[in-house]
């Protein structure tokens, strides 16, 4: 069975950490369910904004809000900092700009 050390020994990666980072990056790119689950977890436990959670999940702000509600997570009302407010405004602008492109 292949293991992390084999990839380092074959000089395909500089370190075990590099293997794991690459594997995580590919996993998150390929598996939207894992990206969304991670975004929900971070939203609940790390107090990130809805806009940041949406960016991590690879979905729009409005989609992330709906996903949270579907999963039984109550979206927080309003940003707590100016930085969060700006991030949410930017996410909404991008969301609305994207909806204009679809019409």
Give the residue among 98, 43, 34, 35 at the shortest CA–CA distance from 68.
43
Query: Whole-prediction pTM value?
Result: 0.68
Contact predicate 46/40, CB 8 Å = no
Encode pLDDT of 19-30 as tens digits.
999 999 999 999
pLDDT digit string, tens, across residues 3-51? 999 999 999 999 999 999 999 999 999 999 999 999 999 999 997 889 8
Domains of the chain, by residue range, sit at 1-30, 32-101
Instruction: List b or e across 48-74, with b for residues whose CB sees 16 or more CB atoms inside 10 angstroms.
Output: bbbbbbbbbbebbbeebbebbeeeeee
């Amino acid at each position: 069975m292949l293991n992390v050390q084999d990839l380092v020994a074959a000089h395909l990666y500089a370190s075990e950490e590099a293997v794991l980072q690459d594997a995580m990056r590919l996993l998150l790119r390929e598996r939207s369910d894992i990206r969304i689950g991670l975004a929900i977890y971070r939203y609940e436990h790390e107090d990130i904004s809805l806009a940041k959670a949406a960016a991590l999940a690879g979905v729009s702000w409005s989609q992330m809000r709906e996903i949270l509600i579907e999963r039984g997570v109550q979206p927080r009302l309003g940003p707590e900092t100016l930085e969060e407010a700006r991030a949410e405004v930017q996410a909404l602008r991008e969301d609305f700009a994207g909806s204009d492109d679809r019409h």
